[in-house]
Amino acid sequence: METIAENRSEGPDRRRPGQAPRMRAVPGQRLSRLPQLAGLDATLKRDIAVVSAVLPFKVNNYVIDELIDWSNIPDDPIFRMTFPHRDMLPSDDFEFIAKLMENQASREEMAAAVNEVRTKLNPHPGDQLSNNIPVEDDEPFHGLQHKYRETVLVFPAQGQTCHSYCGYCFRWAQFVGISELKQSVDGPERALQYLGAHREVSDVLITGGDSMIMSTDRLVPYIDPLLSPDMDHIRNIRFGTKALSYWPYRFTTDKDSDDLLRLFERCVQAGRHVAVMAHFSHAQELATDAVRDAIARIQSTGAVIRAQAPIIRFVNDWPEAWSDMWRTMVGMGVVPYYMFVERDTGARGYFEIPLARALEVYQTAVRTVSGLERTARGPVMSAAPGKVCIDGTATVGNEKVFVCRFLQARDPERVGKPFFARFDEHATWYDHLQPASFETRPWFATANSSSLHGS
Ligand SMILES: *Cc1c(COP(=O)(O)O)cnc(C)c1O
Ligand code: SF4
């Protein structure tokens, strides 16, 4: 039987033999020597070298050759997202590392200094590492997260990296190897056992890092067993990925890309919904031939692409960045899903914006697009008790408040009920919020602690 993907081989995305791009990754320490940066002044290059000694960076040939507009440096949003900037480190830490580099400090001295600076950057934010991990036979089950009743996240070991890194990534500690907890599964067996035993679970999210960094051979044993009749409670199979932005050839010309599309088709034919949860930060990521081909090929399998991204300073912190992106993606059949607020870690101080500003950007962007393009919910914080959306501001009595709502919660009773936080123009995260004076539900910072932990 011919698959849909094969039928498309006469279409605009047909294989170009001999032209399949090969991925070349450029690690942080080599970024400052890229020929594209030759024209930049020496301090900028030094800044890149210093910051990339502390935080993880990795860029590849697609990002360099096709995504970044080199006539618009340093303002290009993709450059801002993937390249180091001096302000990503507190200035005294930056000077500390810069001085050691200048003095050609020994490897040991450098390593100790880098470690000291990293430790100050909150490498383990929130309780993502220690909570939400299922416990079976009194043993914590690392590599799965089961926070919300209907969805289980699976972190396969081979999917815990990305084709390129975002400067704001909350998994940065893992990328530099200082994560204390093993957060991935080595193989599918126990994960599948867990899913088989939990009939309340309807959604499986294969995630990372980037689930699409895995070879198709490695993915298949996680997915094919979900298609059997005894797993028919699993209705939705999601893949978390930024490959459409950082390496769209994963779906077009890589040597196992056809096999990947066939895997999606098998899921669809087995009656499962396949959701590619794509991380898109800016319309520029939707503008290359490669991403257009990749989107069309994924869609030809029956899979649906949904898009989500955090709102990030310098990258997409103005309304047109979102309205342009939503218009462009809906035109390509991609469904806007979430606008996130980024977590409190790493280079956050550089990228963060106040919740009040994120709300303003969201509301302004939504007003200018059609109903079909308004499907992203936001701004959303994935906080300890659940996913909190700021729906707007209001004045109740004499008090200005944020109107908040749980989209997901450990305690499903909380979902959908509006609650109120004191308006605070500087707050950047849920735990900065205080209940409004008339708010009686204890759904704030102090309520994040022990009794709500565990799934
Ligand atoms: C966001 C999220 C989900 C999925 O939530 P949906 O609203 O169904 O997209 C599941 N688990 C965790 C831990 C999450 O953060
Ligand atoms: S794609 Fe996601 S996991 Fe990968 S670097 Fe970016 S934010 Fe981190």
Q: Is residue 195 part of a domain?
A: yes
Q: Is residue 307 part of a domain?
A: yes
Residues 57 and 178 reside in one and the same domain: no
Q: Is residue 441 part of a domain?
A: no
Residues 275 and 315 reside in one and the same domain: yes
Q: Is residue 291 part of a domain?
A: yes
Distance 166 CA to ligand 2 centre (A): 5
Residues 87 and 163 reside in one and the same domain: no
Q: Is residue 280 part of a domain?
A: yes
Q: Which residues contact 342 (CB under 8 A, 6 or more apart)?
A: 168, 170, 310, 311, 312, 348, 351, 352
Averaged over successive runs of 10 residues, the pLDDT of the chain (455 residues) comes to 39 54 91 87 90 93 96 93 93 96 94 93 64 78 92 95 90 76 86 97 96 98 98 98 98 97 98 98 98 98 98 97 98 98 78 96 98 98 94 96 96 93 96 91 56 28
Compute the Cα dihedral for 452, 141, 57, 89 and give only its sign.
positive
Q: Tell me, what's the pLDDT at 451? A: 31
Residues 162 and 289 reside in one and the same domain: yes
Residues 290 and 402 reside in one and the same domain: yes
Residues 416 and 307 reside in one and the same domain: yes
Q: Tell me, what's the pLDDT at 134? A: 85
Residues 232 and 357 reside in one and the same domain: yes
Question: Which residue's CA is the nearest one to ligand 2's atom 6?
Answer: 166
Task: Write down which residue in 119, 146, 164 finishes a domain.
Answer: 119
Q: Which residues line ligand 2 (CB under 6 A)?
A: 162, 165-166, 169, 171, 209-210, 242, 279
State how many domains the chain has: 2
Residues 150 and 84 reside in one and the same domain: no
Residues 82 and 147 reside in one and the same domain: no
Q: Is residue 114 part of a domain?
A: yes
Q: Which residues contact 33 (CB under 8 A, 6 or more apart)?
A: none
Provide the domain limits for residue 90.
2-119
Q: Is residue 447 part of a domain?
A: no
- Whole-model pTM? 0.91
Residues 102 and 144 reside in one and the same domain: no
Residues 115 and 199 reside in one and the same domain: no
CATH of the domain at 239: 3.20.20.70
Q: Is residue 124 part of a domain?
A: no
Alpha carbon distance 195, 146 (integer Å)? 10
Q: Which ligand is nearest to the CA of 347?
A: 2
Residues 144 and 115 reside in one and the same domain: no
Measured in residues, the chain has a length of: 455
Q: Tell me, what's the pLDDT at 445? A: 56
Task: Write down which residue in 119, 150, 179 finishes a domain.
Answer: 119
Q: Which residues line ligand 1 (CB under 6 A)?
A: 132, 145, 147-148, 151, 153, 382, 387, 407-408
